[in-house]
A and B are shown apart, each in its own frame.
Chain A
Amino acid sequence: MREEIPEIFWELVKAKFERMPTNLRLVIGGVGSLKKEEILKHIEKRDEIGELLVRMEIEYLKLIKEEAESYEEALNNITKP
């Protein structure tokens, strides 16, 4: 399963979490509350928690894509003669 995630996503998520403010903790049920440096370690290790974070990013991007498509569709309907 983990091999299926393209390297670009791992890099993207790592870059994203490098910008996470240090006061914020991400709590993952069953795992605990993670500090920024712990999150980055999971991403570097490409482990199950790292994979969850990549999947969170993919889900976010999918939502943005769907939204953009719905705006595009609405815009096309308005501009049709």
Chain B
Amino acid sequence: MKKLLITLPNHDDVTFYIFHWSKYILQEAEKRGVKVLKLERERANRKTFFDFLNSHRPSFLILNGHGDEKTIYGYNDEKMLEEGDEEALKEKIIYTIACDAAKSLGKSIVEKGGKCFIGYNRKFVFCMDETKMTRPFEDEKAASFFNATNKIPIGIIKGNSSLESVEKAKEEFRREIVKWRLSKDLEAPFILRALIWDLHSLVHLGEKSFFE
């Protein structure tokens, strides 16, 4: 049985949005009969993460939360994964929305045996509508970003290669860019710039991989 592990810290407004928009990833996994190991809120911590890696051996990791060049953080921004942990990530497909993680950590993981690492090599940026903050699914500004980036894990779960999934996400970013360029909304110029930034920050490191 295919197994994926997903971390969902959900401790501030940013991780709250990511938590909600991950619903579509979880739905796709359920539809395809994938076993999902969910580390929600307090369970998104270093100890539980490594316990699950060792005991369940998931081959696909979706790591949500904040990040920097060398670290991905879990609940309450405690260190969950950092440079030096590469051994535990051999033969894994890793996707993260965590900022800057593709810059150094991702490279190091792939160099030391990770199948592939998909993420952002700069800060991931998105827009949210303050009037919709308690109802993230109604926030069409945020939807433009999450619909695009979610194409990556959803594509991989569907059986597409990691590279194809990244290409589909990039196509979606481009579609959203066109949509907001044609929009007369006062928010459009800001959403547009953030989408262009994310499109140019998204990288696939390592080999074309399939979720097995």
A77 to B14, CA, bound (A): 48
> Using an 8 Å CB-CB cutoff, how does the interface string of A9-29 with B read, 1 for contact, 0 for none?
000000011011111111111
* Residue among B12, B14, B187 having the largest count of chain A Cβ atoms under 10 Å: B14
Cβ-based interface call for A38 (8 A): no
Asked if A27 contacts B200 (CB within 8 A), the reply is: no
Known: A24-B127, A24-B130, A24-B187. A30 touches B193 (CB 8 A): no
Cβ-based interface call for A5 (8 A): no
Asked if A33 contacts B100 (CB within 8 A), the reply is: no
Residue of B nearest to A53 (CB): B193
Q: Which residues of B contact A59 (CB under 8 A)?
A: 193, 196-197, 200
Q: How many of B's residues come within 8 Å of A, CB to CB?
A: 34
Q: Which residues of B contact A21 (CB under 8 A)?
A: 186-187
| Nearest-Cβ distance from residue A48 to partner chain B, whole angstroms | 10
Q: Which residues of B contact A22 (CB under 8 A)?
A: 130
Known: A16-B189, A21-B186, A56-B125. A27 touches B197 (CB 8 A): no
Known: A16-B189, A59-B200. A27 touches B67 (CB 8 A): no
Q: Which residues of A contact B194 (CB under 8 A)?
A: 26, 56
Among B17, B99, B200, contact of A30 (Cβ-Cβ < 8 Å): B99
Q: Which residues of A contact B122 (CB under 8 A)?
A: 52
Q: Which residues of A contact B196 (CB under 8 A)?
A: 56, 59-60, 63
A33 to B44, CA, bound (A): 21
> Using an 8 Å CB-CB cutoff, how does the interface string of B14-50 with A read, 1 for contact, 0 for none?
1001000000000000000000000000000000000
* Residue among B12, B190, B200 having the largest count of chain A Cβ atoms under 10 Å: B190
Q: Which residues of B contact A57 (CB under 8 A)?
A: 193
Cβ-based interface call for B68 (8 A): yes
6 pairs of residues in contact across A and B, judged by CB atoms under 8 Å: A20-B190, A27-B14, A27-B125, A30-B99, A56-B125, A57-B193
